[in-house]
């Protein structure tokens, strides 16, 4: 690259378009999220997770017959090898579940019959479908093993959402809870070039396999500024504990330069459309279990934090997807440190789709190996490079 066309950006790539995609679009100004042309709101209200996975992978909605056979294919891929269950039992019980998931993804690669096939789209697709099917089984198994219980195998009679809840609790969930969880899976399934998807695409751009790309994405999602925010939202709600303590909490965070988790977004400059759907579900789920406290604290915190940001920073801020999913998952009885892995068992649908697009997109412009530049701001010893000094003379 010539000196004239070098552009240095210390901006976390904000506003930089690094590739084209047909998978999804986020309009941060209008608060719109679409998967393959469909509004996420319509999908969350009407489609099952399996339908959305089909849409993402095959670029169109399935008909009745296609959906039935896709569901059958997914559920038949749900079991995980018994060697992996045995390996999970050797892990310290207080391991971070996102680390277990990342290690589990790598272990699943060891058992995949297609793992050595390179450059074949159908093989990559099969690997993606296996991961979409098996990650919930892996996570549910860990949720039981880490509490001293036996893993529950998937049921062939249940759909994807119900199967996860069944494998986690050992009980078949009712239709209302299944519906809420299914909608959560749909809402978290895809979000264009967010940090973890970009991580997956970057790894896929080297032509590494599906599992390598997804392992990197799981690591990226675990961070507090990304998917890790949902667990931290619940921890924050627990610290606040009462509507009466909200003002003091906001004051402390904003004065001390701390974050209010679940607020703000790199792209949305209005309400996150997913939060608008999750909030009423959190309320209903709270009412159902007779504990609306966490929803109420969330709602009042949202109001008060928005006002505080306006007052102190003259800035509008909005809640993101993690804000109301926290109180919703909590009311559903999901353990707090499973919130982020639950995000992952949904987002695997988007990651797998992006890996396929990264490696096999047939329309121009074709993706290429990511290799950005950096600006060296380290030391020189004067105008030239440092002179080598043998160790005994330093």
Ligand X SMILES: CC(C)(COP(=O)(O)OP(=O)(O)OC[C@H]1O[C@@H](n2cnc3c(N)ncnc32)[C@H](O)[C@@H]1OP(=O)(O)O)[C@@H](O)C(=O)NCCC(=O)NCCS
Q: Which residues are catalytic?
A: 226, 265, 322
Instruction: Return the bridge partners of 32, or none.
Output: 27
Structure tokens at 122: 């159908």
Using CB under 6 A, which of the segments 206-214, 314-322, 345-353, 367-375 binds ligand X?
Answer: 314-322
Out of 196, 320, 327, 359, which residue is the one contacting ligand X (CB under 6 A)?
Answer: 320
322 sits near ligand X (criterion: CB under 6 A): yes
CB of 224 to ligand X, least distance (A): 6
The phi-psi region of residue 12 (left if phi > 0; otherwise alpha if psi is between -120 and 50; otherwise beta) is: left
For 307, the 3-state DSSP assignment is: helix
User: Could you tell me the smallest distance in angstroms from the CB atom of residue 259 to ligand X?
Assistant: 4
Q: Closest Cα to residue 231, out of 265, 261, 186, 260?
A: 261
Of 29-37, 320-328, 337-345, 385-393, the segment contacting ligand X by CB under 6 A is 320-328
Give 48 or 196: the residue with its C-beta nearer to ligand X.
196
Rank residues 179 and 223 by Cβ distance to ligand X and give the closer one. 223
Contact window for ligand X (CB under 6 A) among 22-30, 145-153, 260-268, 345-353: 260-268
C-alpha to C-alpha distance for 334 and 339, rounded to whole angstroms: 7
Q: Please identify, using beta-carbon distances, which residue of 26 and 140 lies nearer to ligand X.
A: 26
- Total chain residues near ligand X (CB under 6 A): 13
Among 136, 262, 286, 350, binds ligand X (CB under 6 A): 262
Determine, following the binding rule CB under 6 A, whether residue 265 of this chain makes contact with ligand X. yes
259 binds ligand X, rule: CB under 6 A: yes
Q: Which stretch binds ligand X (CB under 6 A): 120-128, 142-150, 256-264, 275-283?
A: 256-264
CB of 188 closer than 8 Å to CB of 347: yes
Omega prior to 16 cis, within 30 of 0: no
Concatenated DSSP letters for 124-138?
HHHHHHHHHHHHHHH
**Which of 264, 286, 350, 367 forms a contact with ligand X (CB under 6 A)?**
264
- Are 327 and 295 in contact, with CB atoms under 8 Å apart? yes
**Binding-residue pattern over the window 117 to 146 for ligand X, x denoting contact by CB under 6 A:** ------------------------------
DSSP string over 320-383: -HHHHHHHHHHHTT--GGGHHHHHHHHHHHHHHHHHHHHHH--SSSPP----------S--BTT
Binding residues for ligand X, per CB under 6 A?
Answer: 225, 229, 259-266, 320-322
């Amino acid at each position: 690259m010539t000196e004239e066309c070098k552009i240095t950006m210390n901006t976390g790539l904000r506003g930089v378009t690094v590739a084209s995609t047909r998978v999804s679009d986020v309009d941060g100004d209008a608060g719109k999220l679409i998967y393959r042309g469909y509004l996420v709101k319509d999908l969350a209200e009407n489609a099952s997770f399996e339908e959305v996975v089909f849409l993402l992978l095959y670029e169109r909605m399935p008909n009745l017959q296609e959906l039935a056979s896709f569901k059958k294919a997914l559920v038949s891929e749900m079991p995980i090898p018994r060697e992996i269950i045995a390996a999970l039992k050797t892990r310290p019980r207080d391991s971070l579940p996102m680390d277990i998931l990342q290690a589990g993804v790598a272990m699943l690669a060891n058992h995949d019959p297609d793992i050595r096939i390179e450059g074949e789209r159908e093989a990559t697709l099969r690997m993606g479908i296996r991961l979409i099917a098996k990650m919930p089984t892996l996570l549910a198994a860990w949720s039981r093993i880490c509490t001293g219980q036996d893993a529950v195998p998937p049921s062939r009679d249940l759909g994807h959402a119900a199967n996860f809840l069944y494998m986690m609790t050992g009980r078949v969930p009712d239709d209302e809870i299944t519906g809420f969880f299914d909608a959560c899976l749909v809402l978290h399934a895809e979000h264009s070039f967010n940090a973890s998807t970009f991580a997956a695409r970057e790894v896929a751009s080297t032509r590494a396999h599906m599992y390598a790309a997804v392992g990197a994405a799981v690591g990226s999602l675990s961070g507090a500024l990304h998917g890790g925010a949902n667990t931290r939202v619940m921890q924050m709600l627990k610290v606040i504990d009462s509507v009466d303590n909200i003002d003091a909490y906001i004051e402390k965070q904003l004065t001390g330069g701390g974050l209010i988790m679940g607020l703000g977004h790199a792209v949305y400059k209005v309400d996150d459309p997913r939060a608008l759907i999750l909030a009423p579900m959190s309320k209903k789920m709270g009412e159902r279990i007779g504990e609306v406290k966490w929803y109420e604290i969330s709602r009042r915190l949202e109001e008060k934090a928005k006002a505080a940001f306006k007052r102190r920073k003259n800035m509008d801020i909005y809640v993101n997807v993690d804000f109301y999913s926290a109180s919703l998952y909590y009311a559903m009885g999901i353990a707090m440190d499973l919130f982020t892995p639950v995000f992952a068992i949904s987002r695997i649908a988007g990651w797998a789709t992006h890996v396929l697009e990264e490696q096999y997109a047939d329309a121009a412009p074709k993706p290429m190996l990511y290799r950005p530049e950096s600006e060296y701001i380290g030391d020189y010893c004067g105008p030239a490079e440092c002179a080598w000094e043998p160790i005994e003379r330093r």
